[in-house]
Amino acid sequence: MANYTGADVITASDVTKYQPDNLDQFERAGVYLFLGRFFLPALTKFRPETEKDRFERMAEYYMSQYNMEWRMILEDGVEYDTDADGTIVSNEREPLHGFRRLIR
């Protein structure tokens, strides 16, 4: 498995090139995803014959936190600063849950 060093890690400025709106809403979920899916698995030994090591347990924890955070974001709605004035008003919030389907 690859080693992840500071040079290999995606930065917030990398993300804003592709998605410039409201990075802060997804920041916690992004950190959990990075830790659980990329960083901690790179540190573990993955020995199936033994109990899970510390990094495997931490990766599972952060993936569960990511899933919970992502679900809360979808339930709360995604916010877009459509007029780029630095504030989000009620008509710039888009609920994404209801009637058992995503609303777009």
- Percent of the chain scoring above 70 in pLDDT: 62
Summary mean pLDDT of the chain? 75
Please check whether residue 23 is in contact with residue 12, taking contact to mean a CB–CB distance below 8 angstroms: yes
Tens of pLDDT, residues 43-88: 888 777 778 889 999 999 999 999 998 888 877 777 767 777 878 7
Identify whether 81 is part of a domain: yes
pLDDT at 83: 75
Rounded-to-integer distance, Cα 79 and Cα 92, Å: 6
Query: How many CB atoms lie under 10 A from the CB of residue 2?
Result: 8
Task: Let me know if residue 66 belongs to a domain.
Answer: yes
In a domain, 72, yes or no: yes
Residue 1 has pLDDT above 80, yes or no: no
- Residue 46 in domain: yes
Residue 44 covered by a domain: yes
Instruction: Tell me which residue range forms the domain holding 58.
Output: 29-94
Range of lowest pLDDT (21-25, 37-41, 92-96, 99-103): 99-103
Give me the pLDDT at residue 75, please.
Answer: 78
Strand-pairing partners, residue 50, are: none
